[in-house]
Structure 1
């Protein structure tokens, strides 16, 4: 509908107000139609399950029999549960090691590919990104073969270089199982962040590097004085995704070790899953309480990151 000319004295105030009300109504209807599917999906698949988990955490329930309301007993039990705190320690270990390694390796590879001018850069981008097209199950099974004691690739390489490792099972020993989960996470994540950092570096004007070269700045100076400050918002968002992801993920642990040996790789997400769906548990109430604990940890991690990693964009 064409907008009437309000400067025309022939248009009455009544007609003008009617047109404004009709236009406002059309905008409201359009906004409702546009946001309803997304908001409905959020309510149905995110908000409602979370609120239901809060209710379940106050129950003693195995998912089959009649639920029994126990109030905060599940939370009291959780605070006294040593396995929860052991799993939390493992989560914190992955929260520190995985993001740091992924970001450092991705920054180095991205910087080399973006600024060194190697031939076949497009090929390397595809090569590094390849693990990201694999499912978590495939990655975990691949690394399970690498760590195998008898036929594993890792032990084979160690024997070739003269280290008598024998038939050492990396995932079957409490001394090495926790750290052995880190490489699958890193290998499966680096490729994506290499692409992200390369694209971020490509937006930096070449004139800044040319001016720095004329001033005698080397590669390290350009990296720390130009590249990193200008892509710091991207690094911050990447660190946020990696930290939150390492806190809530448990797929690699479930497939590679199922929390073993002797709980040495158990994490909160896996412990909660086994409480709810394990062969000898089926305790949905207590599992929901552990899930609420994990939710609080995720929120706290986000707030701490906002405090110590503020969004300080650098303009050029």
Structure 2
């Protein structure tokens, strides 16, 4: 009888060890994930759900709130300032990603193909703009665009053109286009580094074989480099497009939506409605926030549909 009972006792020990190891693994995962999950719930999910509730209210943040249902959304559809702001968002959402990614790809390609001794320094210089805060970037460009002693007017006058103290950010015709340069300048550095790292993973033998067949540098870029880092470019497109739609900090510092609302964007309009000097309307601002959320999700779905992720092997 003892010989018959011995095998089950021996087999039970590894099972208990496995159960203990499984519990420890689950406990480790809970401890590792819990802080991030808690932070996401407290600082992302909860505020977003609260914004949905606020969008149904008429509330200034101080007095008692009043439930108005969908009135904020109905008024938003009729609000010409919302559509003007979204039009400006659309301009930035198209122009900024095109110039940012094109310049970043070109610079990264040149640094990757040419093994300059100073490549490490170039990376630091390009990335330096991303280290600067938005306030510093805005201040730099405010001096560049200044009408009295600005760098841009000074360079133009070197070619014999009189600018007569023209303020680029003070004209309704030039302000919206002048803001494109700071946005592009501030974003290029990060994507140069991303593209350089992606290109460095491409085997050099592919370039060498193409060069033996007479391929030119631009052909190497468009027929080898870009197709092989397609998925990386796709991720960058998503970030730049959605970032251009959400960004308003540099606009707020340089123009605050002026002159005459010619640079106003949806995020800035929403911010001024909620925290402006004249009045506070958290309910209506939250409704605009919900509209921005829908547009962001829609833009992401459009990119996924027309620029899908592909499996690339090399």
Q: TM-score range by the shorter chain?
A: over 0.9
**Aligned positions, number:** 309
Find runs of 4+ consecutive structure 1 residues off by over 6 angstroms: none
**How far apart in 2 are the matches of 1:127 and 1:31?**
40
Q: Deviations over 1:110-164 (max 9, x none)?
A: 1111102334222222222221111000000110111111111111111111112
**How far apart in 2 are the matches of 1:134 and 1:199?**
22
Q: How many angstroms does 1:16 deviate by?
A: 5.3
User: Which residue pairs with 1:54 in the alignment?
Assistant: 52
Task: Single out whichever of 88-97 and 217-226 deviates more from structure 2.
Answer: 217-226
Q: Deviations over 1:198-221 (max 9, x none)?
A: 111111111111111111211122
User: Which residue pairs with 2:271 in the alignment?
Assistant: 273
- Runs of 5+ consecutive residues of structure 1 not aligned to the other structure: 1-7
User: Which residue pairs with 2:23 in the alignment?
Assistant: 25
1:70-81 alignment to 2 at 5 Å?
70-81=68-79
CA 1:128 to 1:19, structure 2 compared with 1: closer, same or farther past 3 Å?
A: closer
Q: How many angstroms does 1:27 deviate by?
A: 2.5
| Correspondent of 1:43 among 41, 44, 68 | 41
User: Which residue pairs with 1:188 in the alignment?
Assistant: 186
Task: Single out whichever of 220-229 and 52-61 deviates more from structure 2.
Answer: 220-229
SS at match of 1:175: coil
**How far apart in 1 are the matches of 2:113 and 2:184?**
23
User: Which residue pairs with 2:83 in the alignment?
Assistant: 85
**How far apart in 2 are the matches of 1:41 and 1:308?**
33
**How far apart in 1 are the matches of 2:311 and 2:189?**
25
**How far apart in 2 are the matches of 1:21 and 1:192?**
46
Q: How many angstroms does 1:19 deviate by?
A: 4.0
CA contact (8 A) 1:209 1:222 kept: yes
1:1-316 alignment to 2 at 5 Å?
9=7, 11=9, 15=13, 17-316=15-314
SS at match of 1:279: coil
CA 1:60 to 1:115, structure 2 compared with 1: closer, same or farther past 3 Å?
A: same
Q: How many angstroms does 1:167 deviate by?
A: 1.0
**How far apart in 1 are the matches of 2:269 and 2:13?**
66
SS at match of 2:225: helix
CA contact (8 A) 1:149 1:169 kept: yes
User: Which residue pairs with 2:3 in the alignment?
Assistant: none
SS at match of 2:61: coil
Q: How many angstroms does 1:9 deviate by?
A: 3.2
**How far apart in 1 are the matches of 2:18 and 2:120?**
54
RMSD (Å), alpha carbons = 1.4
TM-score if structure 1 supplies the norm length? Answer: 0.94
User: Which residue pairs with 1:5 in the alignment?
Assistant: none
SS at match of 2:27: helix
Q: How many angstroms does 1:17 deviate by?
A: 4.8
CA 1:158 to 1:72, structure 2 compared with 1: closer, same or farther past 3 Å?
A: same
- Runs of 5+ consecutive residues of structure 2 not aligned to the other structure: 1-5
TM-score if structure 2 supplies the norm length? Answer: 0.95
